[in-house]
Amino acid sequence: MYKRIFTKNLLNLTIVVIIFLIDRLSKNYILELSELQNGLDIYLNPYINLYLIWNKGIAFGLLSFNNNFTYHIVTVLIAIIISIMLIAVIKTDGFKKYSLLIVLSGALGNIFDRIYYSAVPDFIDIHIKDFHWFIFNIADIFITLGIICLIYAELFFNKTIDDKKN
């Protein structure tokens, strides 16, 4: 029994560590590249550029603040949300658990940056001609993917009592 619990938790921890490391490695690479080139603006193809910005807000630069007090309040709120997600991961299983782990991993990557750099480095710029989407990073991709999986799980895996009777 203990071996099964250990193996299950080891898998969960491995998922979190791998996603966190992918995010860290990508951000470290971009930061080093930016330092070497004294800035970063790389054209990859007609739809994707690498362009480094420092995001002090939440996902996709929303709610960006120059006020340190507000920044710290938002950081504390994000830490509380991460703690709640950790509890949800412990209490959930199956597809939802792995979806939450993906969101949690990305959130950990971004909160690390908020604490270490006082901002999150975003660098993936997707655009079509002059229309640019919000600039984001690898952690944001995992957060978004995990949320999409959670929505999918809610829509297709949750059955109401009435559905179970039929």
- pLDDT tens string 141-152: 999 999 999 999
User: Any catalytic annotation for residue 122?
Assistant: yes
Residue-wise pLDDT tens digits, 19-75: 999 999 999 999 999 998 888 888 888 899 999 999 887 655 555 666 778 888 888
What's the average model confidence in pLDDT over 99-114? Answer: 96
One of 23, 113, 122, 125 is an active-site residue; which one?
Answer: 122
User: Any catalytic annotation for residue 113?
Assistant: no
What's the average model confidence in pLDDT over 156-161? Answer: 67
| DSSP annotation string for the chain | -HHHHHHHHHHHHHHHHHHHHHHHHHHHHHHHHHHHHTS-EEEEETTEEEEEEEE-SSGGGTT--S-HHHHHHHHHHHHHHHHHHHHHHHH--HHHHHHHHHHHHHHHHHHHHHHHTSSEEEEEEEEETTEEPPPB-HHHHHHHHHHHHHHHHHHHT---HHHHH-
